[in-house]
Chains A and B, each alone.
Chain A
Amino acid sequence: MASPEFKNPVVKWIDHRLPVFSFMHHELHEYPTPKNLSYLWNLGSLAGLALVTMIVTGIILAMHYTPHVDHAFASVERIMRDVNHGWLIRYIHMNGASFFFIVVYIHIFRGLYYGSYKAPREILWMLGVVILLLMMATAFMGYVLPWGQMSFWGATVITNLFSAIPLVGDSIVTWLWGGFSVDNPTLSRFFALHYLMPFLIVGVVILHIIALHRFGSNNPLGIDVSGKQDTIPFHPYYTSKDLFGAMVFLTIFASAIFFYPNYLGHPDNYIPANPLQTPAHIVPEWYFLPFYAILRAIPDKLGGVLFMFGAIAVLFVLPWLDRSPVRSGRFRPLFKVFFWLLLADCVLLGYLGGKPAEGIYVTLSRLATAYYFIHFLVILPLLSVVEKTRPLPQSISMPISGGGMGAAAAAKRGKADA
């Protein structure tokens, strides 16, 4: 808890009145972090990098974009052709959304595998789910802005979902649209909200980090830190590791932006929106495909909506579904198997979301949806009770699990707080 002495008199003057420097020093510099974190722990900082990138490029795009149905598509083309480096900024923003979701999905699956959602990190996890929801809303509205065919028809399909709500559904849809179909009022309000929501995300991210720093990071062994020998200061160890991770991430990101900028997108969105002609296959962006598959799997409209949102609701209550006292999947052999099955199921759902809702795809979607919910609602609670976990290591510094007294003490330390 020693406060550092800053040599610079200006820094000292400011810090005495507004302790930003001490704060940064404590939270980013000396902050004790488990020393055994793997590269899977880089993804939080990568998500932060992605968020900043999206905000900076987004604000710049907003300088040149016109949120009116008669001018939106043309203003995006003006950005691509006339604005200095406009094509670069647009492609960064467009592909940045995809990369933001790639990073966040890996980050979530890391949390699932290592039990990062378990006590005492339940609120940290739930804040993360809130961030995911905000990201999805932001991305959905952002995709409408270029006013291409997919923008318009994706907006039409998804906003129409709300009519499934009994009694007030149609009024809600009219209220969302500001009219009787997706049109200019819809576009204007989506632009305003799309600009707003990333800053809400920043706020929740700050809460997310505060919650994280309350108990510190989880680690691949899933056992608590037992002393100074188990931790290292965040700077320079994890700052340097995060920098390396960021460079690898940027390399992959750059290859997409410069050489395959439209690979993850849909060609139909280069056709200006036409309310009188529906594209052959309306498909959302890839990161929504698993949810789209679940939505279409349920034959009932309202049921589809409920199950789609339910897929995320189930994540909220995960800490209470999986009550195994052992955090990390490394010491849970049965859980491990089901984890990989869940991942495969999600990938399958993503694949099915991009297929037409016909024939075998419908059957598979229903099976995959059922399995998804069975995993969370049936398998995980059962595993908490019946699974025989492997013995936990003594500590992070001595991860080889030994027999005898040490193991019992270690097992106690490895249990999540009740």
Chain B
Amino acid sequence: MRKLMRVVSVATGIVAAAVVSISAPAMAAGGGGEIKQHEWTFDGPFGHFDKASLQRGFQVYREVCSSCHGIEFISFRNFADLGYSEAEIKAIAAEYEVTDGPNDEGEMFQRAAIPADRVPGPFPNENAARAANGGAYPVDLSLIVKARPDGANYVYSLLTSYAEAPSHMNVPDGMYYNKAYSGNLIAMPQPLYGDDITLANGGDTSPEALAADVVSFLAWASEPEMETRKRTGIAVMLFLFVMCFVSYGSMRYIWADVKKSKA
């Protein structure tokens, strides 16, 4: 038993050291990186998505973010996860146009989107996106929560940390001061001021609430399988715990007749 404990503590030590070395944030030269910690419904082993929040978040994305940011790995049919019915999804899709073709004349053409289509982005390619945004690329948001350390809190902080630059700092034209962004200067203007969208069923439209809703939506977009993953995980862990006990019992039963005299 002592040997086992030693092995486990050594293994833990190694993994801990490795993990610490990866997860320690690399502090940016020049400031930034102030990340607020927000409590999310999807945190922890029992995490879940609040569908109402996801729908509000989608609305924020549509009306505010989608003018610049794409969400290329999401298809309209995925919105069933948000609680929309098949008819509602068809209607949402029909409001968008996608490129199809070539037709019999050899030309590409526009048609209304169907649920099977991906959500079209605002720009046809990265170069067009940069050209329209002074050389800066508004990143695709499909994976943003997984693509940043502590992603949900990071995006939330980014959206709610615009501030007046300190007097000594010169903010060039086209840049904005943000306390969360590495280096403090970001090319994206503040997207949320509060009441940026009208909620059909009423609700909190403060910038913090809207930011939290859109972050929930983006967390879903990055990890739509999250709820299934955690639910399955709980079942698997319970099964394995029982297996550990039962296999230990078998082992002790089988080994009962071995006279061991260990030094």
Residue ranges of A at the interface with B (Cβ–Cβ < 8 Å): 35-36, 38-40, 74, 77, 80-81, 87-88, 91, 102, 105-106, 109, 220-221, 232, 236-237, 240-241, 243-244, 247-248, 250-251, 254-255, 257-259, 261-264, 266-268, 270-271, 280-281, 283, 286-287, 289, 330, 343, 346-348, 350-356, 393, 397-401
A290 to B121, CA, bound (A): 42
- A350 and B14 form a contact (CB under 8 A): yes
Q: Which residue from chain A places its CB closest to the CB of B44 in the assembled complex?
A: A259
Contact of B170 with A by CB under 8 A: no
Partner of B146, one of A237, A244, A270: A270
A240 touching B240 in the complex, CB below 8 Å, given contacts A36-B260, A267-B148: no
- B19 and A286 form a contact (CB under 8 A): yes
Q: What are 20 A-to-B residue pairs whose CB atoms are below 8 Å?
A: A38-B3, A39-B4, A77-B142, A77-B143, A87-B229, A236-B254, A237-B255, A240-B251, A244-B244, A244-B250, A244-B251, A251-B244, A254-B236, A267-B146, A270-B147, A271-B143, A283-B22, A286-B19, A347-B13, A354-B18
A38 — which chain B residues lie within 8 A by C-beta?
Answer: 3-4
Partner of B244, one of A39, A74, A106, A248: A248
- A35 and B258 form a contact (CB under 8 A): yes
A247 touching B261 in the complex, CB below 8 Å, given contacts A40-B3, A81-B224: no
- B236 and A240 form a contact (CB under 8 A): no
- A268 and B147 form a contact (CB under 8 A): yes
Taking the closest CB of chain B, its distance from the CB of A336, in whole angstroms, is 12
Partner of B22, one of A87, A244, A261, A354: A354
A258 to B19, CA, bound (A): 18
- B14 and A243 form a contact (CB under 8 A): no
Contact of B237 with A by CB under 8 A: yes
Taking the closest CB of chain A, its distance from the CB of B3, in whole angstroms, is 5
B251 — which chain A residues lie within 8 A by C-beta?
Answer: 240-241, 243-244
* A-contact 0/1 string along B219-263, CB 8 Å cutoff: 000101100011011101100110110011011001100101111
Residue ranges of B at the interface with A (Cβ–Cβ < 8 Å): 3-4, 7, 10-11, 13-15, 17-24, 26, 28, 45, 73, 78, 139, 142-143, 146-149, 151, 182, 222, 224-225, 229-230, 232-234, 236-237, 240-241, 243-244, 247-248, 250-251, 254-255, 258, 260-263
A81 touching B263 in the complex, CB below 8 Å, given contacts A88-B229, A286-B19, A289-B21: no
Leading 3 A-B pairs by shortest Cβ distance = A258-B233, A354-B21, A270-B147
A237 touching B230 in the complex, CB below 8 Å, given contacts A266-B22, A286-B18: no
- B15 and A399 form a contact (CB under 8 A): no
Q: Which residue from chain A places its CB closest to the CB of B253 in the assembled complex?
A: A240
Taking the closest CB of chain B, its distance from the CB of A95, in whole angstroms, is 12
A399 touching B263 in the complex, CB below 8 Å, given contacts A40-B3, A240-B254, A350-B21: yes
A240 — which chain B residues lie within 8 A by C-beta?
Answer: 247, 250-251, 254-255
- B4 and A258 form a contact (CB under 8 A): no
A160 to B109, CA, bound (A): 45
Taking the closest CB of chain A, its distance from the CB of B1, in whole angstroms, is 9
- A398 and B230 form a contact (CB under 8 A): no
Q: Which residue from chain A places its CB closest to the CB of B10 in the assembled complex?
A: A343
A236 to B256, CA, bound (A): 12
Q: Which residue from chain A places its CB closest to the CB of B78 in the assembled complex?
A: A81
- B260 and A258 form a contact (CB under 8 A): no
Taking the closest CB of chain A, its distance from the CB of B224, in whole angstroms, is 6
Q: Which residue from chain B places its CB closest to the CB of A229 in the assembled complex?
A: B259
B258 — which chain A residues lie within 8 A by C-beta?
Answer: 35, 232, 237
Taking the closest CB of chain B, its distance from the CB of A280, in whole angstroms, is 6
A-B CB contacts (within 8 Å), total count: 149
A283 to B139, CA, bound (A): 22
- B240 and A106 form a contact (CB under 8 A): no
Taking the closest CB of chain B, its distance from the CB of A365, in whole angstroms, is 12
B234 — which chain A residues lie within 8 A by C-beta?
Answer: 258
A225 to B53, CA, bound (A): 67
Taking the closest CB of chain A, its distance from the CB of B209, in whole angstroms, is 26
B45 — which chain A residues lie within 8 A by C-beta?
Answer: 259
- B73 and A102 form a contact (CB under 8 A): no
A302 to B80, CA, bound (A): 56
A250 to B244, CA, bound (A): 9
- A281 and B26 form a contact (CB under 8 A): yes
- B20 and A351 form a contact (CB under 8 A): yes
A237 to B248, CA, bound (A): 12
Taking the closest CB of chain A, its distance from the CB of B234, in whole angstroms, is 8
Q: Which residue from chain A places its CB closest to the CB of B243 in the assembled complex?
A: A247
Partner of A347, one of B14, B24, B73, B147: B14
- B237 and A258 form a contact (CB under 8 A): yes
A257 touching B233 in the complex, CB below 8 Å, given contacts A39-B4, A40-B3, A350-B18: yes
List 18 extra interface pairs beyond A240-B254, A254-B236, A398-B261, CB under 8 A.
Answer: A91-B229, A237-B255, A240-B250, A240-B251, A247-B240, A251-B237, A258-B229, A258-B232, A267-B146, A270-B143, A280-B26, A330-B263, A343-B10, A347-B14, A351-B20, A354-B18, A354-B24, A399-B261
Partner of B3, one of A39, A270, A347, A350: A39
B22 — which chain A residues lie within 8 A by C-beta?
Answer: 264, 266, 283, 286, 354
Taking the closest CB of chain B, its distance from the CB of A111, in whole angstroms, is 13
Partner of B11, one of A87, A102, A220: A102
Taking the closest CB of chain A, its distance from the CB of B82, in whole angstroms, is 15
Taking the closest CB of chain A, its distance from the CB of B2, in whole angstroms, is 10
Q: Which residue from chain B places its CB closest to the CB of A271 in the assembled complex?
A: B147
A330 to B234, CA, bound (A): 41
A248 to B262, CA, bound (A): 23
A268 to B10, CA, bound (A): 29
Q: Which residue from chain A places its CB closest to the CB of B4 in the assembled complex?
A: A39
A251 to B149, CA, bound (A): 26
Taking the closest CB of chain B, its distance from the CB of A104, in whole angstroms, is 12
- B237 and A254 form a contact (CB under 8 A): yes
A283 — which chain B residues lie within 8 A by C-beta?
Answer: 22
B20 — which chain A residues lie within 8 A by C-beta?
Answer: 351
Taking the closest CB of chain B, its distance from the CB of A286, in whole angstroms, is 4
Of A258, A259, A268, A280, most buried by chain B (CB within 10 Å of CB) is A258
A220 — which chain B residues lie within 8 A by C-beta?
Answer: 3, 262
